[in-house]
């Protein structure tokens, strides 16, 4: 978006209420977001909350029910401009109590939370409206308890650098997934074979998953274009791939030999 158009749009939103940020549809200014997070009240007007974490100068302690009054929230974004997904290098300044969040609005369509500090998302969260789920560098061990979760609208799942992640979702309830990024999830040991049901998948990256040993043997998905298996020493067999694959990363994987019989049909392959 052009800077002048963006500035005009921001002024329109500020004009919704100059004094009370709870009565605006979108929040992006640090001081406004801090006011809302520190004093949770009914904030039905807020549809989008986006905070650049580089603006946060001190630790913010969030209460478990901080989002309970935001029933129209569709976009929640806590992002870091340095693009580092190593929690120990740049720890988050957003802290949660030990029990984590107790509530997230089911209206969310985009959840982007760099270095999410808890082991899972709230157990009562129903993410059926979610389109983009991006939580790089998180402390997640699993997204949620149980496998019976339907994410029929989910297109992008990015959990890169979530080094404590031990379990990923069952993909049978994620039919429209297009991009899956799990690079550097060093505790992850298995990708469920139900990934084969994601017929719209274009990219799957598990690079640097050093303990990953369970991986689908058949990925003949007609939209698949990029597969990243490098630095996965425990993956020893190349899965069956469709002719649509253009990029295939295998460096430092456990796959020691790639024969013409395995990749000869990859007529669109540009990088190996």
- Report H helices in the chain: 3-14, 30-38, 260-263
Bridge partners, 42 (sequence order): none
Write phi, then psi, for 94 (nearest 5 degrees): -100, 115
Q: Which of the four pLDDT bands, split at 50, 70 and 90, describes residue 20?
A: confident
* pLDDT above 80: residue 81: no
Q: Which of the four pLDDT bands, split at 50, 70 and 90, describes residue 93?
A: confident
Number of alpha helices (DSSP H) and beta strands (DSSP E) in the chain: 3, 12
Q: Which of the four pLDDT bands, split at 50, 70 and 90, describes residue 113?
A: very high
pTM of the model: 0.90
Phi-psi map region of 152: left, alpha, beta (phi>0 left; psi -120 to 50 alpha): alpha
- pLDDT at residue 75, as a whole number: 97
Rounded to the nearest integer, the mean pLDDT of the chain is 87
Q: Which of the four pLDDT bands, split at 50, 70 and 90, describes residue 207?
A: very high
- pLDDT at residue 242, as a whole number: 95
Q: Which of the four pLDDT bands, split at 50, 70 and 90, describes residue 14?
A: low
- pLDDT at residue 87, as a whole number: 46
């Amino acid at each position: 978006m052009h800077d002048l158009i963006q500035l005009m749009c921001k002024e329109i939103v500020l004009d919704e209420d100059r004094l009370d940020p709870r009565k605006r549809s979108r929040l992006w200014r640090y001081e406004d977001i801090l006011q809302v997070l520190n004093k949770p009240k009914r904030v039905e007007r807020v549809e989008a909350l986006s905070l650049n974490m580089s603006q946060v100068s001190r630790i913010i302690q969030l209460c478990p029910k901080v989002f309970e009054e935001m029933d129209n929230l569709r976009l929640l974004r806590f992002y870091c401009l340095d693009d580092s997904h190593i929690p120990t290098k740049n720890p988050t300044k957003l802290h949660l109590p030990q029990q984590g969040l107790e509530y997230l609005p089911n209206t969310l369509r985009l959840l982007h939370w760099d270095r999410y500090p808890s082991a899972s998302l709230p157990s009562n969260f129903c993410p059926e409206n979610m389109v983009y789920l991006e939580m790089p560098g998180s402390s997640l061990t699993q997204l949620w308890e149980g496998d019976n979760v339907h994410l029929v609208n989910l297109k992008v799942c990015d959990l890169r650098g979530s080094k404590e992640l031990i379990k990923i979702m069952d993909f049978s309830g994620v039919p429209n997934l297009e991009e899956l990024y799990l690079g550097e999830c060093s505790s992850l040991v298995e990708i469920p074979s139900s990934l084969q049901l994601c017929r719209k998948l274009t990219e799957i990256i598990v690079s640097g998953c050093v303990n990953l040993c369970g991986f689908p043997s058949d990925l003949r998905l007609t939209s698949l274009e990029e597969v990243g298996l490098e630095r996965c020493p425990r993956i020893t067999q190349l899965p069956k791939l469709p002719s649509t694959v253009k990029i295939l990363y295998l460096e430092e994987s456990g796959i020691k030999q790639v024969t013409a019989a395995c990749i000869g049909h990859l007529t669109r392959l540009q990088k190996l």
